[in-house]
């Protein structure tokens, strides 16, 4: 399990329900490593500001990570974490490796509004 | 506005800044830590800290959370993931502007902005970050199973990580700008002994090329200035650290490496402005040294404020 203060995606069913029940979703799939922890930190920091977005993390080495790892949008990724943004169940943006607060909020504002 | 007035503002929330926060808040100073990244700084980037006395082994993330909570429990306010957009440190009341809108004031300021990995700053580096370019072997090494990769750098990290990456990669080429390495001799010898490792010396990568992911790099020989293209699946960059002091240029005294120059009590050239941790001019950069600096700077800042009050009363 990832030791963050975010809600975790713990099963494939939970992932599917997450996409079904939320218009805007951001999932960060990673490990507890140097490139991933700062992205979880950004998500924790802005979670209360972006109430219209569901923020989750997902363990990269866990049995359910294929829901993110096998997305075509992540095909060319070779840097953790894989961060994917969904609107109405569809991928609108995916990034690989560390991202700053500014990069994350730019994507959220552009795709989900402030 | 009154709420935005503090005794001390600490800029940077790594181990140096958090320790300063613990000492100041415990000393009943109204203290604010303003941090551009995640609280904990480089410490959160450390998988395992095994050399912090009193704790046999702990993840950097956990140690950061403990220090953060310790500071908060003494009453220190911590604001993270923000941008410092303005600074006025010279006057007696110091002001710090955040996110182009909020102004905070204090009688003393501690600069504890630490350092970060150097990047190459060449075309294509941003585009292929996470799509072929990495700065962390333990994070991304396994994406390069049976692939050909380059490691850039000539220090201990570069050579040690090059050896560790041979667990995954079919070949590792070390590209280094000088004709000799800065790493310890044993690290150089271990790399030289490894059959998967080869070397391109006195050369620099000047461009990253590819469509969706990195496909090749352009390498320039530093002596002849000749260039050539090399097909490659991945590049790991380990070219050292630089201090996060851009914002202080022209305000506090920096040395030629852009490290903050301090006196023995860690005060800078500006009265009431102290500095601590990896961003200052010093030899050894560890959590223990950052924590020690944070303590000294906090005690110095408290003494400075107490002296100011004594002057006013006199
Ligand atoms: C991968 C790795 C492993 C390490 N392992 C160990 C180890 O095992 N043991 C050990 O003792 N040391 C280790 N170190 C070194 C140790 O982490 C550092 O020496 C220590 O974190 C320095 O503390 P600091 O507070 O000075 O700076 P930092 O930890 O760099 O923290 C500075 C903080 O300031 C913020 N900041 C930067 N610019 C600004 C700005 N303009 N305004 C506001 N905030 C800003 C940053 O976001 C950061 O949060 C390691 C370092 C790395 C990178």
pLDDT, one tens digit per residue, over B116-126 is: 889 999 999 99
**Residue A98 domain-assigned?**
yes
Count the neighbouring beta carbons within 10 Å of the beta carbon of residue A48: 7
Is the domain of B104 the same as that of B130? no
Is the domain of B90 the same as that of B167? no
Contact across the interface for B47 and A97, Cβ inside 8 Å: no
Lowest mean pLDDT among B37-41, B163-167, B201-205, B260-264: B37-41
pLDDT of residue B37: 85
Query: What is the mean pLDDT of the segment spanning B37-60?
Result: 87
Domain count, chain B: 2
Residue B306 pLDDT greater than 70, yes or no: yes
Domain C-terminal end among B190, B208, B237 = B237
Residue B47 pLDDT greater than 80, yes or no: no
Domain C-terminal end among B202, B237, B272 = B237
- Kindly report, residue by residue over A47-90, the tens digit of the pLDDT: 999 999 999 999 999 999 999 999 999 999 999 999 999 999 99
Is the domain of B212 the same as that of B246? no
**Residue A16 domain-assigned?**
yes
- Kindly report, residue by residue over A1-14, the tens digit of the pLDDT: 788 889 999 999 99
pLDDT of residue B1: 45
Distance CA B66, CA B52 (A): 13
- Residues of B within 8 A of A77 (CB-CB) are 130-131, 143
Is the domain of B125 the same as that of B268? no
Q: How far is B252 from chain A (nearest CA, A)?
A: 27
pLDDT of residue A59: 96
Q: Which ligand 1 atom sits nearest the alpha carbon of residue B279?
A: 26
**Residue A81 domain-assigned?**
yes
Is the domain of B232 the same as that of B125? yes
Q: How far is B212 from chain A (nearest CA, A)?
A: 7
pTM over 0.95: no
List the domain range (segments joined by +) for residue A67. Answer: 7-112
Is the domain of B187 the same as that of B249? no
Of B45, B131, B144, the CB nearest to A34: B45
Lowest mean pLDDT among B14-18, B78-82, B209-213, B277-281: B78-82
Going by C-alpha positions, the residue among B118, B116, B150, B146 that lies closest to residue B133 is B150
Distance CA A41, CA A4 (A): 8
Residues contacting residue B95 through CB under 8 Å, at least 6 positions apart: B86, B87, B88, B103, B104, B105
Domain count, chain A: 1
What confidence category does residue A92 fall into, taking pLDDT thresholds of 50, 70 and 90? Answer: very high
List the domain range (segments joined by +) for residue B303. Answer: 2-116+241-313
- Residues of A within 8 A of B143 (CB-CB) are 77-79
| CATH (domain of A106) | 3.40.30.10
Tell me if B118 CB under 6 Å of ligand 1: no
**Residue A2 domain-assigned?**
no
What does the DSSP 8-state code read for residue A30? E
Contact across the interface for B81 and A41, Cβ inside 8 Å: yes
What does the DSSP 8-state code read for residue A50? -
- Residues of B within 8 A of A80 (CB-CB) are 139-140
Going by C-alpha positions, the residue among B139, B300, B29 that lies closest to residue A30 is B139
Contact across the interface for B37 and A95, Cβ inside 8 Å: no
pLDDT of residue B2: 56
| CATH (domain of B171) | 3.50.50.60
Domain C-terminal end among B206, B237, B268 = B237
- Residues of B within 8 A of A75 (CB-CB) are 212
pLDDT of residue B311: 78
Q: Taking the C-alpha atoms of A64, A66, A69 and A72 in order, what is their torsion angle to the nearest 10 degrees?
A: -140
pLDDT of residue A33: 84
Q: Give the mean pLDDT of chain B.
A: 94
pLDDT above 90: percentage of residues in chain B: 84
Ligand 1 midpoint to CA B43 (Å):
5
Could you give the 3-state DSSP secondary structure of residue A14? Answer: helix
- Kindly report, residue by residue over B171-183, the tens digit of the pLDDT: 999 999 999 999 9
């Amino acid at each position: 399990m990832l030791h963050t203060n975010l809600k975790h995606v713990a099963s494939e069913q939970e992932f599917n329900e997450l996409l079904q029940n939320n218009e805007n979703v951001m999932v960060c799939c990673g490990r507890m490593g140097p490139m991933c922890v700062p992205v979880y930190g950004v998500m924790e920091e802005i979670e209360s500001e972006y109430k219209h977005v569901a923020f989750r993390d997902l363990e990269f080495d866990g049995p359910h990570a294929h829901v993110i790892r096998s997305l075509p949008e992540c095909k060319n990724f070779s840097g953790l974490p894989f961060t994917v943004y969904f609107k109405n169940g569809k991928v609108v943006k995916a990034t690989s490796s560390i991202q700053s607060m500014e990069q994350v909020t730019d994507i959220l504002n552009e795709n989900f509004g402030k | 506005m009154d709420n935005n007035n503090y005794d001390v503002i600490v800029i940077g929330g790594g181990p140096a800044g958090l320790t300063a926060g613990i000492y100041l808040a415990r000393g009943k100073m109204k203290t604010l830590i303003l941090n551009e990244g995640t609280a904990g700084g480089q410490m959160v980037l450390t998988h395992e800290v095994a050399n912090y006395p009193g704790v046999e082994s702990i993840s950097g993330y956990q140690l950061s959370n403990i220090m953060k909570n310790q500071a908060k429990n003494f009453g220190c306010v911590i604001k993270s993931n923000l941008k410092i957009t303005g600074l006025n440190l010279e006057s007696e009341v110091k002001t710090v502007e955040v996110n182009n809108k909020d102004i905070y004031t204090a009688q003393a300021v501690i600069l504890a902005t630490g350092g970060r990995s150097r990047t190459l700053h060449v075309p294509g580096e941003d585009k292929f970050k996470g799509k072929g370019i990495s700065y962390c072997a333990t994070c991304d090494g396994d994406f390069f199973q049976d692939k050909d990769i380059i490691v850039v750098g000539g220090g201990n990290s570069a050579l040690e990580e090059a050896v560790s990456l041979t667990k995954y990669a079919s070949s590792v080429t070390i590209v280094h700008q000088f004709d000799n390495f800065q790493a310890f001799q044993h690290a150089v010898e271990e790399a030289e002994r490894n059959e998967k490792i080869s070397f391109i010396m006195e050369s620099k990568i000047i461009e990253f090329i590819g469509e969706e992911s990195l496909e090749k790099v352009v390498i320039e020989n530093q002596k002849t200035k000749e260039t050539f293209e090399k097909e490659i699946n991945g590049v790991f960059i380990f070219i050292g650290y630089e201090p996060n002091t851009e914002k202080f240029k022209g305000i506090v005294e920096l040395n030629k490496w852009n490290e903050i120059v301090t006196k023995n009590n860690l005060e800078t050239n500006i009265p009431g402005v102290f500095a601590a941790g990896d961003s200052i001019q010093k030899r050894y950069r560890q959590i223990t040294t950052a924590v020690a600096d944070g303590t000294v700077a906090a005690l110095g800042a408290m003494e400075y404020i107490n002296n100011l009050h004594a002057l006013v009363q006199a």
